[in-house]
Structure 1
């Protein structure tokens, strides 16, 4: 690349995109804005600036801030659901393989980013966000919790463990969520690999013949 080419400014996002692509662009800009500004201070104008688009274009696609926030939460929730369900489906048939895949999915680099973690924490933590979260994401949480409990129950039935599967699943879920929050509140957050090792340490306390801090013990 020549010196002249290297000094060229980054190209602005194209003005004409398919409707779905433009909406996705604005949702991604909303995630970035929430991460930087917080839930309550996110505005349509700030999202437009982040996306490099006009305020009117944001209005055209979402009409109000509330609609934009709802669509952003639904997008994040479906992204998260697909992330872990596809990971479990792609894993082997055994309970240890599927349990590892389900827990490790939370720390995939494309999902476990500072921006997405900040956005999730904002939706969890804001007074305005909690009712919205419960209304829009409650069924996804129930599906996740049910599958995690089923896998813990299978670990008992198929591998001779005896812990309460509901309680074991709850501890694993709370540990995973706690690590996400920890990564957001520390001034020098640890990387996703260390976060997963922390969750695996907890998993090994319940299922020591199948897990260590390094992950799944090979059969």
Structure 2
């Protein structure tokens, strides 16, 4: 009887797919636990319970609470990264449209919602105490920062790089502020209105491009 060489490959593929599914299940459960319990009260046990898995499974895939939390932080940043990059690609070559796309991406409901904001602020609040969190933030924030600075430089070619970098910081600081308001005052702060206000500020700072930014 001849062995079937495709069977081991199929089994390895299924094991890999199952492992990826379990990891994703645990990371999603971690994010839900952080939103519900906060970072300090999120444990391997709360995550396993949220995921409907044993605590041993969580330990097998992530070894420790810190490994699990760092993986969850990467997961939420991966979604943010994919969102702004996709928006930028869809915007085309017009720098005004690209700036608007970057601003709108910050208010995309997939990443700007009450649960996600709770997670973002929980992680940011721990950055100075947990080097791994700061490293993850720096890794993902760097390309996003370059993207908005480059767009602002394209919109004001006559200005110095320090001036356009400052312009980018103003815009980013405003959207960060609206995230904070949406997190702290969800009943009185509206996501769509906040996005429009951020676009209006960008248009005010760049009046020659205003109609294309707020379009």
Question: TM-score range, shorter-chain basis?
Answer: 0.7 to 0.9
* 1:216 has 2:198 as partner: no
Any conservation in 2 of the 1:123–1:129 contact (CA below 8 Å)? no
Q: Which has the higher helix share?
A: 2
SS at match of 1:184: helix
Unaligned runs of 5+ in 1: 1-16
For residues 182 and 156 of structure 1, what CA distance do their matches in structure 2 show?
30
Unaligned runs of 5+ in 2: 1-16
The C-alpha deviation readout for 1:83-140, integer Å capped at 9, x for no partner, is 1112101112100011111111111111212111111100101266553232122132
Any conservation in 2 of the 1:122–1:129 contact (CA below 8 Å)? no
Any conservation in 2 of the 1:73–1:133 contact (CA below 8 Å)? yes
For residues 67 and 140 of structure 1, what CA distance do their matches in structure 2 show?
18
For residues 211 and 133 of structure 1, what CA distance do their matches in structure 2 show?
37
Tell me: CA distance 1:186–1:147, structure 2 relative to 1, closer, same or farther (3 Å). Answer: same
RMSD over aligned CA atoms reads: 2.2
Deviation at 1:44, TM superposition (A): 0.9
For residues 129 and 47 of structure 1, what CA distance do their matches in structure 2 show?
22
How many residue pairs are counted as aligned between the two chains? 198
Tell me: CA distance 1:127–1:151, structure 2 relative to 1, closer, same or farther (3 Å). Answer: closer
Deviation at 1:210, TM superposition (A): 2.9
Partner of 1:206: 205
